[in-house]
A and B are shown apart, each in its own frame.
Chain A
């Protein structure tokens, strides 16, 4: 990876601080009270259903749109200096168009120079980036002949051509095959950890946010409903979800009948039912799991597992409903909408 010059960071490695951003389109409020901090070397996931205000947030933070209220600071540069901020950020927009008649190398050379770099400096950076994103061999091909995945990689290289401090990636894996998605996520991790850049990752793929991001901001209907590290947000919300939800566990298909019999004998379990087409999976509903006390709820989980282990039933999977980012997301966004 290209070595970045030392960042002129805010306090404690803060490279992006957004404070109470607000935006409305006419009467419709698109975003309100967006406040968060991004640290160098960390990946921040931006989550939210359609119309939650993600695109508006990204447009504001990338200086493509002015907020109605609030402000943000990138590497010590205030939002009232958008041209200076643009020199510090790299962006992969959701729908990035490419000129069909340019080669990948020409494309990067052009954008590098637009950031004020010399042709020779940009050449070195462009070739290094093309190598990093796996396009070096095809650098002299017309972009019009590129596949979608190659264009996404080129888009990431373009976002890095100015050696940015903050990188915004809007749905970077959209339309990629699973292998392409995996490779791109690895690339994002490397960008953050090796370059020391902060990454803001917008995605609908909750699993990829969970696997790549250190921090998360969840938006719903223009409101910020959660903010913190991924573990904090899941943990904080889980306490509420676990009280009303159940458990999922997977045993060997041959042990399903025996497992149901054992589980039904546990007083805390109200209902045990096989999960449709998912062979060996059972869903358990708990009766008042802890009366608002999460510790009691965890004890119930342990007693269920103990019972199965004592009966020598092999447990293939065990999952608390609400223990994944997807559950947190569904819970929080549903709350705001209702």
Chain B
């Protein structure tokens, strides 16, 4: 029975009250997106992509050795990144596309409030996210290989992904609001997406130190990735890292507040609000974003390393290139320590010793002799302000959660004198047992998702075609 027949058959029920405009716009937009529209097609492509990636990981002998915790983290990180791109494709067209297709005017000519129109469009634009996330769950489950991080991964992935998707869809709708053509809207949206994505993918070396961390912290995507990595790979309590969620939440509030409170009431046929003051402001902001991007790209590992020094300590010891890592049993890791004499005098001989404790067994010490070919190294003397770099290798022997830290011990100047050993920041190492994915085992999930979606597309379109007259023009 068509909608018309239903309404004619039971006119009493729906006539009780008029529906709010945001709901009408939402339903119309959702129908356009999901029935023969781009949302279903994009989600189908996304499910194929997920299937291919999963199969490649399982088939490749190197990739399949990635620890499950890291697999979960990488999978959720990529699900969020790809979902943000789908959101971009949908929302960057939401207003500028209507302008281009001349369909916005008839909408603006109705007595519906501008804000309700924006709310309806916004809600429709984010409908892809729960679908995309649910599709990813079997894949993440498969890649987790029974690891306990699967549950937290899904929980935090859903929460953080939702925050980011709402933010980015809002941001791209703002871009679309201020664009007169889809070409401009897509160009600006893709540039913003790339800016956040690239800076979140900078090498680990560029993400430490005050500057590196600052840029990671202010980039919502990088901050969420960092938070997820801490929670999933290092099993750290989330409350210790809540600071990393400040920027994504603040960015979400700013973007959505701007969209609904400032931009929405001024929605009009032409792009933007037509305020010259705003145009000047947005140009300045744009320039600021470009300058920031260039600065972020220039953030070097060296810059990050310098920030570990503490002028109050006569001797400094830092670890270069590493804070935390998840590896498989039998993997080797390499890192450097930098010892610096910050005093105005030459130092005595310095011994640098490696220490490993088991975090899962109340800090029980692990004999470094089994884990490293060299337990200690020595430095004859350091001149005032001089630094020396020492290289280390650790072989992960047993699975578990361990902390590696180095201690620099100045040689005492006499038999009855003492010295003050200095400890470095620790390396939090998660060692996972050796496991391997089976290529044949992942096939049902890799192919099942796209197949189910294909069936849904077929039945939705078939049902739609039954309700409409498909005849050509008269």
Contacts and interface: CB of A to CB of B under 8 A. Distances in A.
Interface in A142-198: 142, 145-147, 150, 158, 162
A31 B385 CA distance: 76
Contacts of B17: 118
A117 B102 contact: no
Interface string B94-108: 000010011101111
Interface string B72-114: 0000000000000000000000000010011101111111110
Interface string B10-26: 01101111110100110
Nearest to A116: B18
Contact of B108 (A64, A121, A145, A150): A64
A67 B24 CA distance: 31
Most B-side CB within 10 Å, residue of A89, A102, A124, A145: A145
A128 interface: no
B269 interface: yes
Contacts of A204: none
B102 A93 contact: yes
B470 A145 contact: yes
B302 interface: no
Contact of B103 (A98, A113, A114): A98
Interface of A: 59, 62-65, 83-84, 86-87, 89, 91, 93, 95-99, 101-103, 105-106, 109-111, 113-121, 123-124, 127, 138-142, 145-147, 150, 158, 162
B28 interface: yes
19 contacts: A63-B109, A64-B109, A84-B111, A96-B102, A97-B103, A98-B103, A101-B31, A101-B37, A110-B28, A111-B106, A113-B18, A113-B24, A115-B111, A123-B7, A127-B4, A142-B469, A145-B471, A145-B473, A162-B111
B467 interface: yes
Interface string B239-272: 0000000000000000000000000000011000
Contacts of B409: none
Given A84-B111, A114-B111, A123 B4 contact: yes
B472 interface: yes
Contact of B112 (A62, A114, A142): A114
A101 B471 contact: no
> Which of A84, A98, A140 has the largest number of chain B CB atoms within 10 A?
A140
Contacts of B7: 109, 119-120, 123
Contact of A101 (B2, B16, B36, B107): B36
Given A113-B19, A120-B12, A123-B11, A138 B474 contact: yes
B331 interface: no
A106 B4 CA distance: 8
Contact of B18 (A91, A98, A102, A117): A117
Nearest to A155: B106
8 nearest A-B pairs in the assembled complex, by CB-CB distance: A97-B102, A120-B15, A120-B11, A119-B14, A147-B473, A97-B103, A87-B111, A114-B110
A250 B12 CA distance: 65
A211 B31 CA distance: 43
Given A114-B21, A120-B14, A140-B4, A99 B103 contact: yes
Given A114-B112, A120-B11, A141 B468 contact: yes
B370 interface: no
B102 A95 contact: yes
Contacts of A146: 473
Nearest to B474: A147
B111 A116 contact: yes
Nearest to A149: B474
Contacts of A65: 268-269
Nearest to B105: A93
Contact of B469 (A102, A111, A138): A138
Contact of B111 (A86, A91, A147): A86
A63 B109 CA distance: 8
**Which secondary structure dominates chain B's binding surface?**
loop
B8 interface: yes
A118 B268 contact: no
B470 A96 contact: no
Contacts of B322: none
B364 interface: no
Nearest to B117: A114
Contact of A118 (B16, B21, B473): B16
Contacts of A119: 7, 14-15, 19
Contacts of B415: none
Interface in B274-289: none
B261 to A, nearest CB: 18
A150 B473 contact: yes
Interface in B124-145: none
Given A91-B109, A114-B24, A99 B4 contact: no
B468 A103 contact: yes
Contacts of A83: 111, 113
Contacts of B473: 145-147, 150
Contacts of B463: none
Given A86-B110, A102-B28, 19 more contacts: A64-B108, A64-B109, A83-B113, A86-B111, A91-B106, A99-B32, A101-B31, A109-B7, A110-B24, A113-B24, A118-B14, A119-B7, A123-B8, A124-B11, A140-B4, A141-B468, A142-B469, A146-B473, A162-B111
A114 B469 CA distance: 25
B14 A145 contact: no
B111 A139 contact: no
A115 B24 CA distance: 11
Nearest to A82: B111
Given A120-B11, A142-B468, A147-B474, A109 B105 contact: no
